[in-house]
Amino acid sequence: MTEPAPARETGPLTGYTVIDLSRALAGPHAGMMFGDLGARVIKVENPGRGDDSRSWGPPFVGPAGQEQATYFFSCNRNKESIALDLKSETGTATLTELIARADVLIENFRTGVLDRLGFSTARCMEINPRLVILSITGFGHDGPESARAGYDQIAQGEAGLMSLTGSGPDDMQRVGVPIADLLAGIYGSYGVLAALLERERTGRGKIVRTSLIAGMVGVHAFQGTRTTVAGETPLPGGNHHPSLSPYGLFASQDGAVQISVGNENLWQKFTAAFDIDPATPGMEDNAARVANRQAVIDLIESRFAAFDSATLLEKLSAAGIPAGTVRTLPEVYAWEQALSQGLKVSVDHPVLGDIDLPGPPLRFFDSEAGTEVETTKTTHEAPPLLDEDAEAIAAWLTGANEPETTPPEGR
């Protein structure tokens, strides 16, 4: 008899089971979010090669013949892996059993692919009427361009984000991470949690759909209303805010610092600290400073040239001006403040041993007698090897071992 897996530290979603059929980044990121929250996440992969991102590199790390893609590590912690051929009877039978026991199913196939495999949304809901399905596509599941394949950089361009990003109108740039994928996963997770809450009232599951372009439009923020309400066409503005000044990256004696002068009170404090007349023509208020942005930048950088960055940040802090530096990622993961927030975690990988991963962005607390007690999950599982958990999952499906946790009430 297979020994049951050791009990894992609990979280808000302990007792929920998520079947992750997705690959690459958008769906896997959503699945990892559920795992971080304590859900059991079973990642279903293609036999032999697994998730596409297992081969996305360099960088690869590990001994010859067991090289691991660090890209895969970025979105697959706190999951189990089983390899299933969904075109085989055995694979479809196992997936059917998994769906029957699941609370959530995540998929990011192109529109129609899951239907052809025999697992349409209607079929999945027939198997398990309480199932919540998260379906992520590139351009949406319907509409005139629904059949297009979804890739992050294409979505960044098509949904307008690249038109806002870069040093200027002739230098449009992608964001330095796959932000369309990541936001689709985050928005999708938010939708799933809402559907699970609704299920508590109705007893029925739901299909949650989002897309890479939806995630992009969802974060247009003030640039969106600048377009739809004011009728303007935003263009890349580099490292300076299009609606506030001074707000951006400014050269110092030995590098650069960022400042955010977001209101007139801060402007008064800033000008006093750096011997600037706050009523300088063209700088009397924020609208004037935005209209004369380059003159503002030139004046500020002439003052900042007298200070190295460290001294400048101290001076800005003393004046009460929001300011900061630009850190490299190694600096971020060594930063005491980031570490204090749990933003780096250590896991034990079966090939690589102890490794550090970026940590979850959420923390949880109980309030006991007016005192906050942290209940954040602090132990995490390494991203799994392909098919690493097949035996344990098979034993669970056949009842050879018991669930690790009691399902939520009403399941």
Q: Could you tell me the CA-to-CA distances from 170 to 41, 173, 175, 247, 355 in Å, in that order? A: 44, 10, 16, 22, 41
Candidates 36, 51, 103, 181; catalytic one? 181
142 among known catalytic residues: no
SS3 call for 330: helix
Q: Give the chain's length.
A: 411
Q: What is the secondary structure of 7-37 as a DSSP string?
A: PPPP-TTTT-EEEE---SSHHHHHHHHHHHT
For residues 72 and 349, the answer to whether their CB atoms sit within 8 Å is: no
Q: In whole angstroms, give the CA distance from residue 86 to residue 240.
A: 50
> Which DSSP helix (H) or strand (E) runs through 125?
helix 121-127
DSSP state at residue 110: P
Q: Could you tell me the CA-to-CA distances from 122 to 115, 201, 205 in Å, in that order? A: 9, 21, 11
For residues 140 and 213, the answer to whether their CB atoms sit within 8 Å is: yes
Q: In whole angstroms, give the CA distance from residue 71 to residue 350.
A: 17
Catalytic residues: 181
